[in-house]
Amino acid sequence: MLKLNSTLQCLLLNQPESGMGYQIVEATTFDNKIKRGIAYNAELLLFDEEARLTLKTTAFARLLNEAKISTGEIKSLHVVTNTASASPAFALRETATSYGKQATPAKDAPIEKTKEKEVFKRFTAYENDHRITSDGKLLPGTYATTEEDAKKAPTGKVAVARYALPNPKPASNVWTIKPWKDTLIQSGIVEPAYGQPGGGVEVLFRDGTHAGTVTGPEKIPDE
């Protein structure tokens, strides 16, 4: 976490916001590393790998006061302007973690069991999703998201950003999964990848699901 010096603040204030009160930025450090992060109010920069919990628990003024100054750390900064990066999904990363899910990828999370009547959603660019069998089950090792998190992806393009999908084609086919109680899952948060912010909840069905548990797809708008 860095407090931006006046030069960088001025630079950011001359560039558009990515969302209300924040800018998605790429910073070049003095050791020539390029790091992505979010600049809040053009004055406080959190890199992608840094925990965002402090933003919820600590007053902004105090964070600014305690943050290290960017001078000597960052030599240049620019706002990421491509559509995917500027999507609202960037701002939703904090929301995803607040559901009590671990801020780690699902594959590294502990194994849990589904509760009764829990519902999950799966976004894909394909109508003929090969991971869903003709008798309506998920194959082992298939990813989905929670029903709650899926509400934050109203279009296929937002889904690509929120779940950091490498296929740029809108993931506009949405499958509904109603697994049996006690189905084994691992839940986590999608890490930024492929130029996408991630931040959504991902659920890995380690052993798949039973027959008749998957329906769809429902078509949502591409954008």
Partner 1 sequence: MRVKLEKRWIKRLLQLPESGMGYQRVDLRLADGRELKNVLAFNAEEVELPDECADAKIEDIHLQTA
Binding footprint of partner 1 on the chain (CB under 8 A): 122-126, 128-131, 139-145, 163-167, 171, 190, 193, 202, 204, 206
Min dist CB 102 to partner 1, Å, is: 16
Residue 45 is which amino acid? Answer: L
Residue 113, strand partner residues: 184
Min dist CB 75 to partner 1, Å, is: 30
The residue among 4 and 144 lying less far from partner 1, judged by its C-beta, is: 144
Cα(70)–Cα(29) distance, integer angstroms: 10
Put residue 22 in one of left, alpha, beta given phi > 0 → left and psi -120 to 50 → alpha: beta
The residue among 37 and 188 lying less far from partner 1, judged by its C-beta, is: 188
Residue 120, strand partner residues: 146, 177
Min dist CB 163 to partner 1, Å, is: 5
The residue among 71 and 155 lying less far from partner 1, judged by its C-beta, is: 155
The residue among 18 and 172 lying less far from partner 1, judged by its C-beta, is: 172
Strands of 44-47's sheet, edge to edge? 68-69, 2-3, 44-47, 34-40, 22-29, 74-79
Min dist CB 146 to partner 1, Å, is: 12
Min dist CB 143 to partner 1, Å, is: 4
The residue among 2 and 132 lying less far from partner 1, judged by its C-beta, is: 132
In this structure, the dihedral spanned by the alpha carbons of residues 85, 87, 92 and 96, taken in order and rounded to 10 degrees, is -70
